Amino acid sequence: MTQYEQSYSSAGVTPHISRVQTRFFYDARAAGAGKTYAECDNMLRHSGLYILAVELINGMAERLAMLNDISAQLSACPKIVEISSSLASMMEAKRGPSVKAQIEALCGTYEAGHVIALVTHAGLMDADLSGFQKWNLVIDEVPSVFESKSVASALTWQWLGDHFQIIPGDNLNGVVLGEASKATTADFRRDSLATALATFHRRVASPQYDVFADICAWDALAEDPRWRWASFWSPAKLGSFRRVKFLANAFDRSLTYAVFRARHPELAWQRDELPTTRTFVRRLMKIHFFARAHRATRGLFNTVRGKRNLEVISKWIARSRGSDGHIWMCNEADKASLPRMPGVKLAPRQAGSNRYQHVDAVTALYTAKPEPAECQILEACGIDPNTAIETREYETIYQFVGRSSIRDASSSREVHVYVYDSGQANYLFDMFSNAGYIDVELLPVDLGFIDEKYDSKAGRPKCELTEAEVAAKNDLKRAQARERQRLKRARDKMARDHNDEYSLERVGNT
């Protein structure tokens, strides 16, 4: 039986700046490389104060089991603390502190010793992290730092104007709390009609987030009630930690990394991979796709035509596969269009889980492309919108497929993957081919629509502009382009000055 030994180390990786100065590290190796296990082993071997942030609450149990297993092997006895909303809800009945309060209290409760605190991404991002100078932070999987929502406020725009202030900007208009607003997060929890605005208020009120809107004034909603808000989580408070490390496949290709680099060029990043060795048996992966001339989009799947395509696919997969050894996922809105799908349906976000590594067949009929308005926001920040497609859609599908037996190093069984379009299939082909021990085949499946074309452009109806309006719009675009260049030069200079400062410090310390 042919075997492939996959060895990882940091050798040959060019450091950005010295390890002593850099606080932001990342391990971007593929799913199944052992990133999390190696990091847990490292935390248990070296006494210290650690926070391990996982994506979802159900991922905590797996990380806790992993820590306990390694602890038994090493005879290590750290203090392990779990903090999550499910545990907090039980404590809340006893008037216990919130998740945010529990996380913020860690730095005062434990000032020395060997402590590993398990938290979620959401809990970490809501907390004030300014007091963790003695702590190390490991973030498992990519946290989502960009959020955008489209809403309509035909009746509530006056209330919004009373509580939130719009700050005009060159490319984006910021949103801050109004001076007269006294509403609190607790107030929103007590008002069931305000639920839709609770997240927006929490983002605006938090110093960890920057919030923007695509309107210039609230009274503009009297004519057209539709508007969009977007928030960016800032990594600035992470600088208080002794060390920060992200563990995620292709992290340096992610939307989160792109946002950090564009909005915080002063941060220095360094690739860091703990040496691990796993022996994988060579195996074959067959990736089946059903559309070549169009892509999976929300616009398509909302049509009769798109629903029909999904139903045809589900019937074909039902005939091709049995119900055993098959997991699948889709957008929740498309579940009714897949009545014949065999096997176990899971939520799309399954990153980090090992529970299904006995499965040899995976279906992911999924779309998560940004809307045109979101693309405009990202472009205004100097971020390629295609990065959002890769992170939200392609990477989610990749992580889901990576939960199958492909992560079982001893398995040589053939793996079958089913996705909607060739763009998704090609991304998986590139990722799994680069693993070194997987032979990947792309297999188009013609179910009658593989070469059909579909234009799913979304957004507000296009309006005709006068010549004067066109000229004014072009003048504004040129002015915005000049401003973007000015900001880019300023960010580049800040990054150069930052690196020069570290260099001088390094010379002074030698």
Distance CA 510, CA 505 (A): 9
Distance CA 332, CA 349 (A): 12
List the 173-177 sheet strands across, edge first.
Answer: 146-152, 226-233, 209-213, 173-177, 164-167
pLDDT, one tens digit per residue, over 403-438 is 899 988 899 999 999 999 999 999 999 999 988 889
At 274 the pLDDT is 92
Question: Is 377 within 8 Å of 232 (Cβ atoms)?
Answer: no
Amino acid at 279: T
Q: Which residue has the higher pLDDT, 348 or 460?
A: 348
Distance CA 38, CA 277 (A): 10
- Secondary structure element (H or E) that encloses residue 413, with its range: none
Answer positive or negative: Cα dihedral of 435, 438, 441, 445. Answer: negative
| Residue 249 pLDDT greater than 50, yes or no | yes
pLDDT-above-70 percentage for the chain: 82
User: How confident is the prediction for the chain on average, in pLDDT?
Assistant: 85
- H helix intervals, 382-460: 385-389, 395-401, 422-433
Distance CA 164, CA 186 (A): 17
In three state form, how does the secondary structure of 305-362 look? HHHHHHHHHHHHHHHHCCCCCEEEEECHHHHHHCCCCCCEECCCCCCCCCCCCCCCEE
Distance CA 100, CA 21 (A): 29
| Residue 41 pLDDT greater than 50, yes or no | yes
Question: Is 180 within 8 Å of 187 (Cβ atoms)?
Answer: no
Backbone angles phi, psi at 349, to 5 degrees: -85, 100
pLDDT, one tens digit per residue, over 372-390 is 889 999 998 899 999 999 9
pLDDT, one tens digit per residue, over 132-163 is 999 999 999 999 999 999 999 999 999 999 99
| Residue 19 pLDDT greater than 70, yes or no | no
| Residue 276 pLDDT greater than 90, yes or no | no
Work out the angle between the directed axes of helices 58-74 and 35-45 (0-180°, nearest 10): 50
pLDDT-above-90 percentage for the chain: 64
The mean-pLDDT minimum among 61-75, 298-312, 486-500 falls in 486-500
- Secondary structure element (H or E) that encloses residue 295, with its range: none
At 488 the pLDDT is 59
| Residue 506 pLDDT greater than 70, yes or no | no
Question: Which distant-in-sequence residues (6+ apart) come within 8 Å of 492 by Cβ?
Answer: 265
- H helix intervals, 164-194: 185-190
Task: Supply the pTM of this predicted model.
Answer: 0.78
At 458 the pLDDT is 44
CB atoms within 10 A of CB 96: 13
Give the CATH number of domain 3-144+237-278.
3.40.50
* The dihedral formed by the CA atoms of 28, 263, 204 and 192, expressed in degrees to the nearest 10: -30
At 17 the pLDDT is 32
Q: What is the rounded average pLDDT of the residues 173-197? A: 87
Q: Which residue has the tokens 């490389």?
A: 33
Q: Where are the domains of the chain?
A: 3-144+237-278, 146-233, 282-444, 465-510
At 352 the pLDDT is 55
Distance CA 485, CA 501 (A): 24
Find residue 277's DSSP bridge partners.
Answer: 7
The fold for domain 282-444 equals: Rossmann fold (3.40.50)
Answer yes or no: same fold for 3-144+237-278 and 282-444: yes
Distance CA 215, CA 221 (A): 8
Question: Is 185 within 8 Å of 199 (Cβ atoms)?
Answer: no
CB atoms within 10 A of CB 462: 7
Question: Is 353 within 8 Å of 403 (Cβ atoms)?
Answer: yes
Q: How far is CA 174 from CA 77, 160, 212, 230, 240, in A?
A: 48, 14, 4, 10, 26
pLDDT, one tens digit per residue, over 47-88 is 999 999 999 888 899 899 999 999 999 999 999 999 988 765
At 504 the pLDDT is 47
Cα 472 from chain centroid? 37
Find residue 50's DSSP bridge partners.
Answer: 116, 136
At 23 the pLDDT is 80
Find residue 284's DSSP bridge partners.
Answer: 439
Q: What is the DSSP letter of 240?
A: G
Tell me the three state secondary structure of residue 134. coil
